[in-house]
Structure 1
């Protein structure tokens, strides 16, 4: 892909130490299955003016993991042209940008909770919106004042408002709930803790 984009200098960062050393020729490639790939990599390297391979441990490779996640979610067009990706570093954690208060000051689940409490709707909503609320309410369970979302595995996730969500995310990212780990594990910890 780099050659198709007329790139002549390339920095390759990988978290698989063995593969990096094999491509650099520092270590022998013993696997018969990998030899064609290593040979192809050597041929492609000769077409570049400069190429550098650098090993980065998985623990320090969060940026590459994030890029790989983004790449897996994008469907590339048939053409070989790919628009450049602009990356902006923020001064605060990403979770702070996603927790926003509702304009009316009520929690995001207020409509569902109202319906489950007394089959009531907010004033002025359409029949289509009422139907949507009824459908959504099937996936929720109200226990006194606490609303839970039903999961496919029959588990329940407690619904929280913006204040509580902010507090929970800050605790998780501050490692109050244990050591800080990658995003997938953090999300799983939050879900397993019973929060939605």
Structure 2
């Protein structure tokens, strides 16, 4: 699922918005055990209670994320450095570039992985030696 925020917020707030959205979706589909992988060290340590939250505007986000985490039987947060998280970075870049005129609905982005070259699925009856 992708979501574009149409509200003014800091990078920290956007990270919490994404985390909370993911936690809510996981709970909505009855996931009991969850591994949260992210490149935002501050969020991970604040939600786990390892780092204090000094920014008053972030505190409601931290509290909500902690409340949601308590609903899981098991939840683990794992930090992945940004340079090892190219896929997420690419999605964030795409989301920031797309303009959505007044619509609150965004068509989902579908990504499929192919394990064969397209030409491997094509067989000619008899090769004629021509490149076309």
TM-score (norm 1): 0.37
Q: Return the offset for 1:70.
A: 7.2
CA distance in 1, matches of 2:112, 2:35: 18
SS of alignment partner, residue 113 of structure 2: coil
In our comparison, the structure showing a higher alpha carbon Rg is 1
Q: Which residue is 1:127 aligned to?
A: none
Aligned to 1:88: 113
Unpaired runs of 5+ in structure 1? 78-84, 93-103, 106-196
| 1:13 correspondence with 2:44 | no
- The equivalent residue for 2:60 is 36
User: Could you say what the CA RMSD is over the residues aligned between the two structures, in angstroms?
Assistant: 3.6
Q: Tell me the residue number matched to 1:75.
A: 106
Corresponding pairs, count: 89
Structure with the bigger RCO (C-alpha within 8 Å, sep 6+) is 2
Kindly report which structure 2 residues correspond to 1:58-69, keeping only aligned pairs within 5 A, or say none: 58-68=82-92
Q: TM-score, normalised by structure 2?
A: 0.53
Segments of 4+ in structure 1 off by > 2 A?
Answer: 63-77, 85-92
- 1:9 and 1:86 map into 2 onto residues whose CA distance is 25
Q: Distance in 1 between matches of 2:35 and 2:46?
A: 16
Q: Deviations over 1:124-159 (max 9, x none)?
A: xxxxxxxxxxxxxxxxxxxxxxxxxxxxxxxxxxxx
